[in-house]
Amino acid sequence: MINNIPRVRFAPSPTGYLHVGGLRTALYNYLFARNSGGKFILRIEDTDRNRYIPGAIENLISTLKWAEIDYDEGPDIGGENGPYLQSERLDIYKEHADILIKNKKAYYCFCSAERLASLREEQQKQNIQTKYDKHCLNLSDETISQNLSKGLPHVVRLNVEPGKIIKFRDHIREEVEFSSEVVDDQVLIKSDKYPTYHLANVVDDHLMKITHVIRGEEWLSSTPKHIILYEAFGWEIPVFAHLPLLLNADRSKLSKRQGDVAVEDYRNKGYLKEALINFVALLGWTAGDDKEYYDIDELISKFSLDRVNKSGAVFNIEKLNWLNEEHLRRKSDAELLQMLRTELSESKYSTLTYTDEYLISVIRVMKERVSFIKEILEKGYYFFEEPSSYEEAVVKKRWNNQSAEILKLYGENIRAINSPTKEDYENILKNTAAQFNTGNGDVIHPLRLAVSGIGGGPGIFDILYIIGREKTLNRINTIIEKLNK
């Protein structure tokens, strides 16, 4: 191992949002580091200037901090191995590219875009792999010097030796090998002087003392190029672990065409970070038990690369929703109160005032009925405003000729009691039903319709006790007036 202390990194490109696959890569690196007593580094790979999106770096950092995936070194906190933005490390890459050129492990290429396009077209016609033909490999030193002095556009390419077998051990996929015949003479330094992913990645991983490279399966085919570079520099090769693909329900690669793929989308929809982290951790990894609910401390204590699967992991939104419910229900009243107040401040009820006691009462009767805190306002809107309409199917089924008279009597009975308790509401309902010689249901259903406008929800006596006598009476009067018309 390069270093006695395991060191891992998450190295995203600032091209927009953070993909859930990127979140999983960051999470697995984080869990591995925390489980092993190692260090977790955030490095921003921003050398592809065509794909760079202003503000994306800040968004990446903000999203990781929201998810509470804390790193030990990074662009905003520094560290002894910085800078952590690749665009600030260009001199380092040039220096290492020069070393490769000097040792004949890389070479200058002055081929025009037109020649490369023509070469690619001809190879496609012949139905052979499209790759560079080493045309510039044997240019004389004099020609190279002249071309450079003229300022001719050029790149630096990796010199891949033909006829070699490149073998490495992947921690997840075990023994992997590639023939060098299928490895292109990859561009290492582009014509804009910026490095490609391959050179910058290897140089930075070595200089930052990365011991384990944990990344997505899509980088597996690039690993031979990286192995060649490590060997060309004479550097120790880190442990590779390539994570399985994330799949849609139809086992196609997870894409925005079939649903949300950005962490920010799930955050904006109200998913809890604890639920999303729990869910993403299980996309390709298992602790070997039957559990599905984990908090972050359990994930850290149980995580191991040995239990990461090879096969793709299906993104099951129903499971994510279930986990969100589970994490929501296990939160304290104080946490849920703070969350509900945030939702209220951003809703049409923002100008209204509610006591903590009132909101906690609402939370306690609603949290078993919602998947998201915002659903308390949607499904339990009647705790915050009087119903303006009544569910038509319920009116048709539950409202009859006697309903108005029953509710009038129920109202008169509760008006006679100051500050009725939950038990008072229940006892009065039973007495009202007995007075009409009817079942309790003939009182409950129209009463629920009166106070909530719908046919389902928490216990009717919970609702009555929370909203109180005056609102209950007002709502009884309103439904009688509206439905009698």
Question: Which pair of tokens denotes residue 4?
Answer: 């006695």
Q: Assess whether 286 and 363 both reside in one domain.
A: no
- Residues 336-365 have pLDDT tens digits of 999 999 999 999 999 999 999 999 999 999
Could you give the strand order of the β-sheet that contains 165-170, starting from the edge strand earlier in sequence? Answer: 174-179, 165-170, 239-243, 212-216
Q: Is the pLDDT of residue 307 over 60?
A: yes
Q: Specify whether 270 is located in the same domain as 296.
A: yes
Report pTM. Answer: 0.92
Q: Quick one: 264 and 237 in the same domain?
A: no
Say whether pLDDT at 2 is over 70.
no
CATH number at residue 267: 1.10.1160.10
The domain boundary residue, chosen from 313, 342, 374: 374
**Which pLDDT does position 145 carry in this prediction?**
97
**Positive/negative CA dihedral, 186, 26, 92, 202:** negative
Here the CATH number for the domain that contains residue 460 is 1.10.10.350
Q: Find residue 85's DSSP bridge partners.
A: 44
What's the pLDDT at 165? 97
Which domain range does residue 151 map to? Answer: 92-189
The residue out of 169, 189, 209 marking a domain boundary is 189
Lowest mean pLDDT among 39-53, 289-303, 450-464: 39-53
pLDDT of residue 290: 87
What total number of domains does the chain contain? Answer: 5
Q: Is the C-alpha dihedral spanning 308, 12, 204, 222 positive or negative?
A: positive
DSSP 124-163: HHTT-------TTTT--HHHHHHHHHTT---EEEE-PPTT
Residues 336 and 317 in one domain: no
**Percent of the chain clearing pLDDT 70 (strictly above):** 98
**Residue 39: which CATH number?**
3.40.50.620
Residue 433 has pLDDT above 80, yes or no: yes
430 and 396 housed in the same domain: yes
Model confidence band, residue 1 (pLDDT cutoffs 50, 70, 90) = very low
pLDDT of 258 reads 62
Do 399 and 479 share a structural domain? yes
Looking at residue 125, what is its pLDDT?
96
- 79 within domain boundaries: no
Please calculate the CA angle 247-249-255 and round it to the nearest 5 degrees. Answer: 45
Query: Percent of the chain at pLDDT above 90?
Result: 93
pLDDT in tens, 271-284: 999 999 999 999 99
Q: How confident is the model at residue 239 (pLDDT cuts 50, 70, 90)?
A: very high
pLDDT band at 3 (very low <50, low <70, confident <90, very high): low
The reply to whether 1 falls in a domain is: no
Rounded average pLDDT over 64-93? 97
> Tell me, what's the pLDDT at 257?
62
CA-CA-CA-CA torsion sign (125, 129, 131, 135): negative
CA-nearest of 111, 94, 92, 90 to 102 is: 94
User: Is the Cβ–Cβ distance between 166 and 180 less than 8 Å?
Assistant: yes
Shared domain check, 370 and 285: no
Which residues are part of the catalytic machinery?
Answer: 256
Q: How far apart (Å, rounded) are the C-alpha atoms in residues 385 and 42?
A: 47
Mean pLDDT of the chain: 96
The yes-or-no verdict on residue 259 having pLDDT over 90 is no
pLDDT for the residue numbered 250: 87
Q: How confident is the model at residue 478 (pLDDT cuts 50, 70, 90)?
A: very high
pLDDT in tens, 447-469: 999 999 999 999 999 999 999 99
* pLDDT 10s digits, 65-78: 999 999 999 999 99
**In which region does residue 456 sit, left (phi positive, over 0), alpha (psi from -120 to 50) or beta (all else)?**
beta
Quick one: tokens of 59? 């968004």
pLDDT band at 312 (very low <50, low <70, confident <90, very high): very high
d(CA 464, CA 429): 11
Check residue 179 and report its DSSP letter: E
Pairing mode, if any, of strands 187-189 and 155-158? antiparallel
Shared domain for 142 and 173, answered yes or no, is yes
Give 431-438's long-range contacts (Cβ < 8 A, gap of 24+): 432/406, 433/406, 435/409, 436/402, 436/405, 436/406, 436/409, 438/402, 438/406
Residues 127, 270: one domain?
A: no
SS3 state at 195: strand
**Residue 87 included in any domain:** no
| pLDDT exceeds 70 at position 405 | yes
Q: Give the other-Cβ count within 10 Å of 126's Cβ.
A: 9
Note if the bond before 6 is cis, omega within 30 degrees. no
- Helix axes of 223-233 and 197-207: crossing angle, nearest 10 degrees: 50
The band of 49, judged by pLDDT with boundaries at 50, 70 and 90, is: confident
pLDDT of residue 16: 86
Which has the minimum average pLDDT: 50-59, 182-191, 301-310? 50-59
Domain boundary among 318, 345, 374: 374
pLDDT band of 322, cuts 50, 70, 90: very high
Q: For 135-185, how does the pLDDT look when each residue is reduced to its tens digit (9 = 90+)?
A: 999 999 999 999 999 999 999 999 999 999 999 999 999 999 999 999 999
In total, the chain counts a number of residues equal to: 485
CA distance 30 to 152: 45
Both 110 and 173 in one domain: the answer is yes
The verdict on 56 and 34 lying in the same domain is: yes
Task: Give the Cα separation of 29 and 6 in Å (integer).
Answer: 10
Please check whether residues 419 and 478 belong to one and the same domain.
yes
Both structure tokens of 100: 């490769």
